[in-house]
Structure 1
Amino acid sequence: MDGSNTGKSLARSYAIGVAALFLLLVTVSLGPYLGIQTRAQFREIEASWLNYSGDAGKKGVWISSIRGYLGYGGVIHDFKNYILRQDPFCLDQTRVQLEQFQAVIEDYLAAPIGPEERAALEVIGATVREYEVKLPIAVQAAQEGWDVARTDRLVRVDDTAAIEALGQLERLWQANRQKSTERIIQAVGEGERLIWVGFLSVVSLVVAALTLGVLFAVLLLDMRRAMHRLADELRVRRRLETSEVRLATAVEQSPATIFITDMDARILYANRRFEDITGWTRAEVEGKTPRFLQSGDTPPEVYREIRESLARGETWQGVFRNRRKDSGSYWAETTILPLIGPDGTVQNFIGIAEDITERRHARDQVVRAQKLEAVGLLAGGVAHDFNNILTTIVGAAHLAALDAPAGSAIAGEIEQIDIAARRAQSLVKELLTFARRQPGRPQPTNLTTLMLEVTRLMRASIPPTIALDCCDGVEPFIVMADPTHLHQILMNLCRNAAEAIGGASGTIRVSAHAVTEDLPEGLAPRPDGWVRLEVTDDGPGMSADTRRQLFDPFFTTKPLGKGSGLGLAVVSALVEEMGGGIALDSALGTGTTFAIFLPGAREAELESEAPPDEIPRGRERVMLIDDESEVAGTFRRMLLRLGYQVEAFTSSVVALERFSRRPRQYDLVITDVVMPGLSGEELAEAMRRLRPDVPIIFCTGYAPSGITLSGPAPDVLDKPVDPALLARRVRAMLDTRGA
């Protein structure tokens, strides 16, 4: 019994020992197994994380850059902007971005990629190369002035495949990132499963190996906490990555330029807007101070103020005119502020600038408008008195010329007086016209006759080294324009051409011909056609910068006191008022050609004029009123020489009193407009009430508005009045009354 019990005990002990040994072996083997599996899962997580944050990250940057070059502000955008605007800056940007795009494609192709990614990159590269191949065609179109539609047909590129390929790249990249994320999640899940297996194993083996089990349980619990921490960190990192991408996108797409510097003001970062506005790339500006942006307009004390403000930890705000890489400039409203670290110290500086160039231009336009208003007030104030003086000079010169022997020295001097007076008259009309104080009266005008008249006047006032060639003997060209304004246009263009040639030898050619094609933009064919008036000189020509500002008011290349800067601005305003257009062809060293397109008119509409040498005369009685005694005396002497009986008055009140006594005694009334007591209009209305049919001619040095008068329409002459024109208008009014 005892032996059997002992045997049973031994057997039981043996069984327990075998079981304990088995459990021990299981425990010992389970530990390495779980450790090996856990290490494998950590390696899987590590490999997945490296793939997630490394290779896929680089591809994301490359794909973002490719999208930028294909999108707004990229290669295609700048290429099309160049086609539409023909702006050299867009051409330069296109070439720079083509080089940058090629660099990104080469980096991407050098990386380990799949066949689908390689095929998509080749499609995108081929599309951009088509733009690069067609870039010379666009350049040639800009140089030769092709029509935009024609250029677009020649350079159009179908970029649909490139857009689809870019979408394919993004899908492949997103799929790769998704796959890496799933690998990480799967590895984390597998690790958690192993943790639970180990935990249950320890619980089942706790009786046999309590100490080992406790220690192993503690170890597994620590591992579990580590896995949870890793999972939490992964989620936090994903949120941070999303936030960083959002912030980076906002900074990159910001409409303001943003750059960050270190404490020594060396640039560490600049956004895309900075590159677009300044023309410098990030690689070119990194490590440099913003000194390369300085245009020289800002005083040194301003930069000293900036340094002192930043040293105190304060924000500085101001406006700079910065320099671009292409030597151009732009205005930037800038804010510079210090970036404070967690310890309260300044670690970096950030500059944020808004391009306000257009706003500055608008402000300059307001200033220019105010200046023009001042010119208008000045012109209106002096025109009346100045034109009265010129009227006396022109009239006296005409009367003196009648008594001077033909071809004598005194006749030549009188002609010079007449030319000088007419040039002064032209200057006053420029001011009045530019200030919109003297509207034009379009009428059919013989352009050929006017060309010959202007060239005759110009020949007497330009140096003998300049030849003035006018197409004499050509067919008459009839245009619909104000003769006075057309005279101003021709005088201004010829005078500018002579001043451009200066003291050198040269030639000025004035010509005209009818045109039906090659009209400037905005001009359409018309039944009476167009006439192209050309003024060409072989002077030094103009630079591109001068051509851009040529028609701006007050812009002049002449020395101080040699030019008002209004001549070509007046020409532009007058041509626009006539409904015509201007074309300019000039370059340095090739001379200049101004082409003025004027609306044509039928010759049958041209008013018949007496030949220049036939001045009509008469014996009728004329009442003459002008508050300037010199003007009244000059007009009286001219009319007396023509045979008329003239009563002259310097007081409108006295003249009305004399007229009221015998209204039928006078055949014609000639009166000034601006006079003390009664104005010319008030005087004429009072005379018309006494005699409704009396013919009236207004002679005015400055008419601020249209003259309205009851009864037969009056005639209006601008001072200074050409004596021959006065004689013809007087005769015409008297003959109309007789008819």
Structure 2
Amino acid sequence: MPEAMNENALSRSHRIRLASVLLLLLTVSLGMYLGLQTRDQFYEVEASWADYSDDVGQKGVWISSIRGHLGYGGIIHNFKNYVLRREDLYLNRTREQIDEFMATTADYLAATIDPEERRAIGTVRDTIDQYRAILPVAILAAEQQWDVARTDAAVRLDDDAAIRALADLERIWTANRQVSSDRMLSAVSRGQRLIWIGFASIAALVLSSVLIGYLLILLLRDMRGALSLLSKELQKRRALQQSNERLARAVEQSPATIFMTDTNARIIYANRQFEKLTGWSRDEVHGQTPRFLQSGDTPAAEYEIIRARLAKGQEWQGVFRNRCKDGSSYWSETKILPLMAADGTILNYIGIGEDVTEKRQAREQVARAQKLEAVGLLAGGIAHDFNNILTTIVGSAHLATLDAPEGSDIAHEIEQIDIAAHRAQSLVRGLLTFARREPGIPRPTDLGVIITEVSRLLTAAKPPNITLDCTAVQDGMTVLGDETHLHQIVMNLCRNAIEAIGGASGDIMVSARRMVDDLPEGLTQRSDGWVQFDVADNGPGMSAQTRRHLFDPFFTTKPLGKGSGLGLAVVFGLVEEMGGQIDVASQLGQGAKFSIFLPGTAGDPARTKPEKLDVPRGRERIILVDDQAQVAATFRRVLLRLGYRVEAFTSPLTALEHVRADPQRPDLLITDMVMPQMSGEDLVNAVRRLRPNIPVIICTGYNPSGLKINGPVADTLNKPVDPAKLAHSIRAMIDATR
């Protein structure tokens, strides 16, 4: 029994020793295995990283350099530029780039043993050798000034093989880079698996050997730290890549125009907004200086200041008017700044621009509105005095006409004075209308009568080399508008056509027709229809730029002193006030046609024919009041020639005292509106308190609005007053009262 127990104990001890030995051997073997595998993985990571960073990376740099030599701005591009332009700049660049290319490819060949890469590099080198070989031919062609076809035939080379070889080289590099990347990721993945194997081994062997477990933990901790560092490095690279992508998207989607140039001011990048605003694509502007944006408004000295500031590393900020690809322009508030390296070296220049065209247009509109307000104040101030002067001229010309023999030279000269006075009157009316100081009264008006009157005035004033044809005006062209304003529209358009033709021979066609169905865009059907009035000439025509600003106030293409720039602006305003529309058709060298669309009416026109030439006379007593002595004297002479008994006064207070002495003595009161001491309105009301039914005629420099006159309605005549119209008004007012 004891022997059996001893044998059993020995046997258990043997088994324990054997198990211990086996466990120790297993532990040592597992430790050695994990250690060797870990070392191999470190070597693999190190080798794959070195392969990725050194071999593949360096080849990527060489391939990028080769691509640059073959692409835009490279050897082939500069060689072709030299062939076409024959400038030594491109020849020198070609030679320098050939030398650089050969040095780069030599380094590549020395570093690679891959037969496909060596074959591809050899193909590209052969093509560049061919360009170097034919370079003397191109130089000879430039020196002897060969024609383009001969030069092209002599130096033309097929570089398709080089392009394909470059593509093969890039394909091989991409494949090698992918292999290196896969190798590195595989090594990292295997290392992570080893971690979990180590943890499992430790859990299984911890009971057998604390020391072995501790050593394995230290070993695995070191390996895990190395892998963690590598993982963090990869995460940093990924985060940096994402940050660069976000920055690129922000720049690309920026509402500001952004472009970057090299230190020679040649554009290397432009964002999407730059393309959208200027109309130039990135490919078109790449390699160019921003000179193509210059509109000519900025002086050359300012560009010198910009270059000087940038060369010092200082930024510049200002406003440019830049030119778009289609010829239009825009205003850009621009900041140009240098991009500096850490050592202070200038790497690039960046231009950032904001489109401020609408802001400038808004400021210009405010300035235009202020200018118009000034015109309104000026027009109101000069209208009274200027029309008084014209009244004297028109009245004196009328008196001289009565004494001049019909058909004589003096009668012709007097007629020219009358025409000039009426043109001056039209100019004053234009100013008043433009400043909205003279409201229009829409009423049925025969447009044909207006055209006839304007034609009569212009026939004597226009040059003999210009023909004015109004035969295409149909009868019954009644429109709803102010008679004076219609007269201004017709006069301004016809006179504008005459001035456009100038000293050349030309024809002006005036026509008017009633429209039924063929309405232009913007007009709606009316029960009374529309009337189309056209003024067409065969003059020099207008450019698109002129047509865009045609109706702008103070815009004129005439020399200084030849035009105010208000005529067409007045026409546009009057047509718009009548509810009409104006269209312009014109091209350079093909004349111009202005089409006015006015609302028609079925009502009877206020005037169906021109006024009669006979002037009514009378014997009644007239009180005449005007603060201008010349105007009062002119009116008095005209009325005396018509047989009236006239008492003229330059002081409204003196005239009022005269009437107060005998209110029943005068048969009619004629007064000015704007006078010192007392206005015409106050004078009329004061006289009518003495005699309520006395007829009144108000002669004014501009149409007053909101008059409050007691008693019967007074007749209002605009200065300069036509003597015949004054005579008809006097007779009508006196006869109506009786």
TM over 0.5: yes
For residue 511 of structure 1, what is the amino acid of its counterpart?
A: S
How far did 1:285 drift? Answer: 3.0
Summarize the Cα distance change of 1:668–1:45 in structure 2 as closer, same or farther, 3 Å threshold.
farther
The answer to whether 1:391 aligns with 2:391 is yes
How far did 1:448 drift? Answer: 0.8
Q: Secondary structure at the match of 1:683?
A: helix
How far did 1:356 drift? Answer: 0.6
5 Å-filtered alignment, 1:319-718, equals: 319-343=319-343, 346-471=346-471, 474-604=474-604, 606=606, 611-703=611-703, 705-718=705-718
The equivalent of 2:70 in structure 1 is: none
The answer to whether 1:194 aligns with 2:204 is no
Summarize the Cα distance change of 1:692–1:230 in structure 2 as closer, same or farther, 3 Å threshold.
farther
Q: In the aligned structure 2, how far is the partner of 1:610 from the partner of 1:737?
A: 26
Q: Deviation digits for residues 33-89 of structure 1, max 9, x if unmatched?
A: 77889999999999xxxxxxxxxxxxxxxxxxxxxxxxxxxxxxxxxxxxxxxxxxx
Summarize the Cα distance change of 1:215–1:336 in structure 2 as closer, same or farther, 3 Å threshold.
farther
Which has the higher mean CA deviation after the structures are superposed, 256-265 or 632-641?
A: 256-265
Summarize the Cα distance change of 1:10–1:583 in structure 2 as closer, same or farther, 3 Å threshold.
closer
Q: In the aligned structure 2, how far is the partner of 1:222 from the partner of 1:291?
A: 61
Confirm or deny: 8 A CA contact 1:673 1:703 kept in the other structure: no
Query: What is the percentage of aligned positions where both structures have the same residue?
Result: 60
Q: Secondary structure at the match of 2:388?
A: helix
For residue 302 of structure 2, what is the amino acid of its counterpart?
A: V
Confirm or deny: 8 A CA contact 1:24 1:208 kept in the other structure: no
Summarize the Cα distance change of 1:216–1:327 in structure 2 as closer, same or farther, 3 Å threshold.
farther
Summarize the Cα distance change of 1:541–1:607 in structure 2 as closer, same or farther, 3 Å threshold.
closer
Confirm or deny: 8 A CA contact 2:479 2:601 kept in the other structure: yes
Q: Deviation digits for residues 153-182 of structure 1, max 9, x if unmatched?
A: xxxxxxxxxxxxxxxxxxxxxxxxxxxxxx
Q: In the aligned structure 1, how far is the partner of 2:369 from the partner of 2:310?
A: 39
Q: Secondary structure at the match of 1:665?
A: coil
Confirm or deny: 8 A CA contact 1:480 1:599 kept in the other structure: yes
Summarize the Cα distance change of 1:207–1:620 in structure 2 as closer, same or farther, 3 Å threshold.
same
The equivalent of 1:278 in structure 2 is: 278
For residue 595 of structure 1, what is the amino acid of its counterpart?
A: S
The equivalent of 1:157 in structure 2 is: none
Q: In the aligned structure 1, how far is the partner of 2:252 from the partner of 2:473?
A: 68
Q: Deviation digits for residues 265-304 of structure 1, max 9, x if unmatched?
A: 4434322112211222223333443333333322344334
For residue 544 of structure 1, what is the amino acid of its counterpart?
A: A
Q: In the aligned structure 2, how far is the partner of 1:534 from the partner of 1:594?
A: 6
Summarize the Cα distance change of 1:520–1:642 in structure 2 as closer, same or farther, 3 Å threshold.
farther
How far did 1:502 drift? Answer: 1.8
For residue 413 of structure 1, what is the amino acid of its counterpart?
A: E
Confirm or deny: 8 A CA contact 2:334 2:352 kept in the other structure: yes
Larger Rg: 1 or 2? 2
Q: Deviation digits for residues 448-502 of structure 1, max 9, x if unmatched?
A: 1111111111111112221111127842211122211111111111111112222
Confirm or deny: 8 A CA contact 1:388 1:628 kept in the other structure: yes
Unmatched segments (≥5 aa) in structure 1: 47-182
Confirm or deny: 8 A CA contact 2:267 2:286 kept in the other structure: yes
Q: Secondary structure at the match of 1:624?
A: strand
How far did 1:604 drift? Answer: 2.7
How far did 1:237 drift? Answer: 4.1
Q: Secondary structure at the match of 2:556?
A: coil
Which has the higher mean CA deviation after the structures are superposed, 286-295 or 541-550?
A: 286-295
Q: In the aligned structure 2, how far is the partner of 1:691 from the partner of 1:526?
A: 48
How far did 1:196 drift? Answer: 2.5
Which has the higher mean CA deviation after the structures are superposed, 519-528 or 328-337?
A: 519-528
Q: In the aligned structure 1, how far is the partner of 2:47 from the partner of 2:694?
A: 114
For residue 407 of structure 2, what is the amino acid of its counterpart?
A: G
Q: In the aligned structure 2, how far is the partner of 1:229 from the partner of 1:610?
A: 104
Summarize the Cα distance change of 1:405–1:220 in structure 2 as closer, same or farther, 3 Å threshold.
same
Summarize the Cα distance change of 1:402–1:215 in structure 2 as closer, same or farther, 3 Å threshold.
same
How far did 1:535 drift? Answer: 0.7
The equivalent of 1:290 in structure 2 is: 290
Q: Deviation digits for residues 655-676 of structure 1, max 9, x if unmatched?
A: 1111111112212111111222
Q: In the aligned structure 2, how far is the partner of 1:524 from the partner of 1:17?
A: 110
Q: Secondary structure at the match of 2:717?
A: strand
Confirm or deny: 8 A CA contact 2:472 2:510 kept in the other structure: no
The answer to whether 1:232 aligns with 2:226 is no
Q: In the aligned structure 1, how far is the partner of 2:538 from the partner of 2:671?
A: 47
Summarize the Cα distance change of 1:408–1:303 in structure 2 as closer, same or farther, 3 Å threshold.
closer
5 Å-filtered alignment, 1:136-175, equals: none
The equivalent of 1:316 in structure 2 is: 316
Which has the higher mean CA deviation after the structures are superposed, 424-433 or 548-557?
A: 424-433
How far did 1:244 drift? Answer: 3.4
Q: In the aligned structure 1, how far is the partner of 2:658 from the partner of 2:308?
A: 82
Q: In the aligned structure 1, how far is the partner of 2:343 from the partner of 2:206?
A: 51
Q: In the aligned structure 2, how far is the partner of 1:419 from the partner of 1:407?
A: 16
For residue 734 of structure 1, what is the amino acid of its counterpart?
A: I
Confirm or deny: 8 A CA contact 1:663 1:691 kept in the other structure: yes
The equivalent of 1:267 in structure 2 is: 267
Q: Secondary structure at the match of 1:663?
A: coil
The equivalent of 1:176 in structure 2 is: none
Q: In the aligned structure 1, how far is the partner of 2:212 from the partner of 2:261?
A: 58
For residue 592 of structure 1, what is the amino acid of its counterpart?
A: A
Q: In the aligned structure 2, how far is the partner of 1:211 from the partner of 1:290?
A: 74
Q: Secondary structure at the match of 2:613?
A: coil
Which has the higher mean CA deviation after the structures are superposed, 341-350 or 256-265?
A: 341-350
Which has the higher mean CA deviation after the structures are superposed, 237-246 or 398-407?
A: 237-246
Q: Deviation digits for residues 430-453 of structure 1, max 9, x if unmatched?
A: 222222222222222111111111
Q: Deviation digits for residues 403-429 of structure 1, max 9, x if unmatched?
A: 333222222222112111111111121
Q: Secondary structure at the match of 1:429?
A: helix
Q: In the aligned structure 2, how far is the partner of 1:425 from the partner of 1:189?
A: 97
Q: In the aligned structure 2, how far is the partner of 1:611 from the partner of 1:325?
A: 58
For residue 546 of structure 2, what is the amino acid of its counterpart?
A: T
Summarize the Cα distance change of 1:34–1:312 in structure 2 as closer, same or farther, 3 Å threshold.
closer
How far did 1:677 drift? Answer: 2.1
Q: In the aligned structure 1, how far is the partner of 2:695 from the partner of 2:235?
A: 99
Q: In the aligned structure 1, how far is the partner of 2:351 from the partner of 2:473?
A: 69
For residue 454 of structure 1, what is the amino acid of its counterpart?
A: V
Confirm or deny: 8 A CA contact 2:316 2:336 kept in the other structure: yes
For residue 387 of structure 1, what is the amino acid of its counterpart?
A: N
Confirm or deny: 8 A CA contact 1:34 1:198 kept in the other structure: no
Which has the higher mean CA deviation after the structures are superposed, 635-644 or 575-584?
A: 635-644
How far did 1:207 drift? Answer: 11
Q: In the aligned structure 1, how far is the partner of 2:354 from the partner of 2:422?
A: 51
Q: In the aligned structure 1, how far is the partner of 2:342 from the partner of 2:648?
A: 94
Summarize the Cα distance change of 1:193–1:602 in structure 2 as closer, same or farther, 3 Å threshold.
same
For residue 619 of structure 1, what is the amino acid of its counterpart?
A: R
Which has the higher mean CA deviation after the structures are superposed, 25-34 or 584-593?
A: 25-34
The equivalent of 1:720 in structure 2 is: 720
Q: In the aligned structure 2, how far is the partner of 1:677 from the partner of 1:604?
A: 43
Summarize the Cα distance change of 1:372–1:16 in structure 2 as closer, same or farther, 3 Å threshold.
closer
How far did 1:370 drift? Answer: 2.3
Confirm or deny: 8 A CA contact 1:24 1:209 kept in the other structure: no
Q: In the aligned structure 1, how far is the partner of 2:18 from the partner of 2:410?
A: 155
